[in-house]
Amino acid sequence: MKKYLLKGNEAIAEAAVRAGCRLFFGYPITPSTEIIEYMAKHLPAVNGTFVQAESEVSAINMCFGAAGAGVRVMTASSSPGISLMQEGLSYIAANELPVVVVNIVRAGPGLGGLGPSQADYFQATKGGGHGDYRLIVLAPSTVQELVNLTQDAFDLADLYRNPVMIMADGILGQMMEPVVFQERETRQLPAKDWATTGAEGRPRNTITSYSLQNEIGEANCLRWEAKYRSIAAAEQRWEQYMTDDAAYLMVAYGTTARIAKAAVQMARKEGIKVGLLRPITLWPFPVDGFKSLQGQIKGYLSVELSAGQMIEDVRLATNCSAPVHLCNRQGGMVPAPEEVLERFKEVFPAAAAAV
Amino acid sequence: MGTNNRVTVFVGNYGSGKTELSINYALDLARQGQQVALVDLDIINPYFRSREKADLLESQGVHVVLPPAEYVMSEVPAMPPEVAGFIANKDYHVVIDVGGDNTGATALGRFADLIKNTGYRMLMVVNTNRPDTASPAGIITVMHSIEAAGGLSVTALVSNTNLAWETDLELVQQGQKILEQVSLQTGLPIDFIVVERSLYEQVKEHFPHRQVFPIDIMMRLQWAQT
């Protein structure tokens, strides 16, 4: 099987094409532009259609319409563009439509900067738009995983009839690594009998999220709530690294997980018993991963490119059973593994002293 | 007019390895005692550009020509006027790191006439494990689009087939085979093969009649292989 050297952004786009995505609507923005460029270049060759929308508001609503017609569709952007899409995402979630959205996160708030960031965690996992809804949020940490999770994203979206977000920071979008595109087993997915494809010979399907009766509104909310609960139970994903004998745990996703992994390796060389828990799904947050380790961990270090957002979920997942500290850089800056280890020793002096 | 070695322009598909090669090439010239200016013409985006290594390069005697500091993180094609000065200055070797694809080569058009008048060589850097340059036809298509956008003609090919840390001799051979077909079809020579230093002896032994240029990887993230 041929290996390619791909940029993260190209890998996402190629994986989407291979997953059967034939419609893409987007508006270019650094550092996710290569996704849009790649789709513009490669979709016509597979009888797909690429449209550069006049804005992100327009792009997400084009996705809304295409998904309603039962077609695999994707959009991609970076932070400010994703903010513009929030209203559309709320509508797509309410109408239970499968759309894959990629956020290659850059520094915010506001126009922010072009450098990498993880400061869109709250927006992605807690609902950036209005109402009670959830996105399934996947957080790859290598270019190969960008490929695999992009393909999974389309299946998850179809399976749960829910928007799925792939969230990676600018470094992952831009860095180049060897990847393969493995043939995948086709997952058994429910028929899209709800799609508005022309009602010939069958009752009319309607897609709307407006309910004038509060009773119906509440029934809808309860149905969605039950769906989100079942996703939370079935779809948590995480990776544990050197956790068997760990007394301390670093928690990080995406790029910072790789930096934290390097920091764990450095710490282990010094004899410090620290491991890494890497959430792969940010929503649902992998609380089960924490549960299995809770008795043994004396302290957690959340490593983030934000002012500290995931750290709140770490505290909830562990019921604050041990101290949770933060190691972070912001505004496009990225910590070196040495910096992470230094911060670890600063907040957990007992860990280093125990060696 | 014509080809000379004083002005070397590296072009290629984005991700073909132009920046790593430009940095190493400039450092090599400096080690040979030449006065060298490296022009970072990458206006495509602010990740993984040679300007990140400006301090290291300066300390090794390579003058790095960059936009003013406040624009270094921007994506605007703001190049300082000294670029033209260096291209015209016969005391300097000039290495130009052009942004990827035809989009990146557009920035080259601004200096095309000057470069043409002074003489140059423009090397098309090819990694056959990149999706758009995996076949001779793909390579030639990318090359023509770059030439059209940059207003200059490619004078030779450079083989830079790699899969980062997974590169081995067999992969380099496969890339070289594809590039030889391009060479036959276009009449362009293959100037040299680029490999990471650790592969140099092995590749040199296999291609005794080829020039092999060993490079040290500068832009790789220190945690990439953990």
What is the reported pLDDT for A174?
93
pLDDT in tens, A248-299: 999 999 999 999 999 999 999 999 999 999 999 999 999 999 999 988 999 9
What is the reported pLDDT for A112?
93
Shortest Cα distance from B219 to chain A (angstroms)? 10
- What distance in Å separates the CA atoms of residue A326 and residue A344, rounded to the nearest whole number? 9
- What distance in Å separates the CA atoms of residue B30 and residue B212, rounded to the nearest whole number? 18
| Dihedrals phi, psi of A245, to nearest 5 degrees | -110, 15
- What distance in Å separates the CA atoms of residue A82 and residue A80, rounded to the nearest whole number? 5
B131 touches chain A (CB under 8 A): yes
**Cα–Cα–Cα angle for A133, A239, A287, rounded to 5 degrees:** 45
B49 touches chain A (CB under 8 A): no
User: What average pLDDT does range B134-157 have in this prediction?
Assistant: 97
What is the reported pLDDT for A44?
97
Which amino acid makes up residue A151? Q
- What distance in Å separates the CA atoms of residue B199 and residue B214, rounded to the nearest whole number? 8
Give the residue from A258, A256, A244, A264 showing the smallest Cα distance to A330. Answer: A256
Segment (H or E) for A241 = strand A238-241
| Dihedrals phi, psi of A63, to nearest 5 degrees | -65, -40
User: What average pLDDT does range B73-88 have in this prediction?
Assistant: 81
A128 touches chain B (CB under 8 A): no
pLDDT in tens, B184-211: 999 999 999 999 999 999 999 999 999 9
What domains does chain B contain, in order, with CATH numbers?
Answer: 7-215 (3.40.50.300)
What is the reported pLDDT for A195?
97
Shortest Cα distance from A230 to chain B (angstroms)? 35
Contact A261 B127 (CB under 8 A): no
Residue bearing tokens 């920071």: A169
Q: Which residue of B has its CA nearest to A143?
A: B224
Contact B45 A7 (CB under 8 A): no
Asked if residues A267 and A274 have their Cβ atoms less than 8 Å apart, the reply is yes
Nearest by CB to A114, from B46, B166, B222: name it.
B46
pLDDT exceeds cutoff 50 at B3: no
Calculate Rg over the CA atoms of chain A: 21
- What distance in Å separates the CA atoms of residue A50 and residue B22, rounded to the nearest whole number? 35
pLDDT band at A107 (very low <50, low <70, confident <90, very high): very high
Contact B47 A171 (CB under 8 A): yes
Which amino acid makes up residue A128? G
The structure tokens listed for A316 are 């909830």
Residues of B in contact with A265 (CB under 8 A): 226
- What distance in Å separates the CA atoms of residue B11 and residue B96, rounded to the nearest whole number? 9
- The b-or-e profile of A55-68 (16+ CB within 10 A means b, else e) is ebbbbbbbbbebbb
- What distance in Å separates the CA atoms of residue A302 and residue A313, rounded to the nearest whole number? 10
Shortest Cα distance from A6 to chain B (angstroms)? 7
DSSP 8-state code for residue A187: P
The CA distances from residue A42 to A14, A17, A133, A211, B191, in Å, are 8, 8, 33, 40, 31
Contact A4 B223 (CB under 8 A): no
The structure tokens listed for A261 are 């992994």
* 3-state class (DSSP) for residue A168: strand
User: What average pLDDT does range A169-178 have in this prediction?
Assistant: 95
Q: Between B99 and A117, where is the model more confident?
A: A117
The structure tokens listed for A89 are 């995402």
The CA distances from residue A62 to A36, A102, A283, in Å, are 15, 15, 25
Mean pLDDT, rounded, of chain B = 90
What is the reported pLDDT for A298?
97
Asked if residues A335 and A259 have their Cβ atoms less than 8 Å apart, the reply is yes
Asked if residues A278 and A241 have their Cβ atoms less than 8 Å apart, the reply is yes
| pLDDT cut 70: percent of chain A above it | 100
Asked if residues A347 and A322 have their Cβ atoms less than 8 Å apart, the reply is no
Residues of A in contact with B221 (CB under 8 A): 171, 175
What is the reported pLDDT for A270?
97
The CA distances from residue B192 to B52, B182, B207, in Å, are 26, 14, 10
What domains does chain A contain, in order, with CATH numbers?
Answer: 4-194+206-234 (3.40.50.970), 238-353 (3.40.50.920)
pLDDT band at B77 (very low <50, low <70, confident <90, very high): low
Asked if residues A189 and A158 have their Cβ atoms less than 8 Å apart, the reply is yes
pLDDT exceeds cutoff 80 at B217: yes
What is the reported pLDDT for B81?
83
What is the reported pLDDT for A307?
98
Residue bearing tokens 């594809």: B178
Asked if residues A144 and A289 have their Cβ atoms less than 8 Å apart, the reply is no
Residue bearing tokens 């959340």: A302
Using CA of residue A291, residue A294, residue A296, residue A297, what is the dihedral sign? positive
Helix A254-269 and helix A337-347, axial crossing angle in degrees, nearest 10: 70
pLDDT exceeds cutoff 60 at B150: yes
Mean pLDDT, rounded, of chain A = 96
What is the reported pLDDT for B222?
80
pLDDT exceeds cutoff 80 at B164: yes
A78 touches chain B (CB under 8 A): no
pLDDT band at B1 (very low <50, low <70, confident <90, very high): very low
User: What average pLDDT does range B54-62 have in this prediction?
Assistant: 91
| Dihedrals phi, psi of A316, to nearest 5 degrees | -70, -40
A106 touches chain B (CB under 8 A): no
A10 touches chain B (CB under 8 A): yes
The structure tokens listed for B185 are 């079809």
Nearest by CB to B130, from A5, A113, A336: name it.
A5
The CA distances from residue A318 to A113, A296, A304, in Å, are 33, 12, 18
User: What average pLDDT does range B126-135 have in this prediction?
Assistant: 95
What is the reported pLDDT for B2?
38
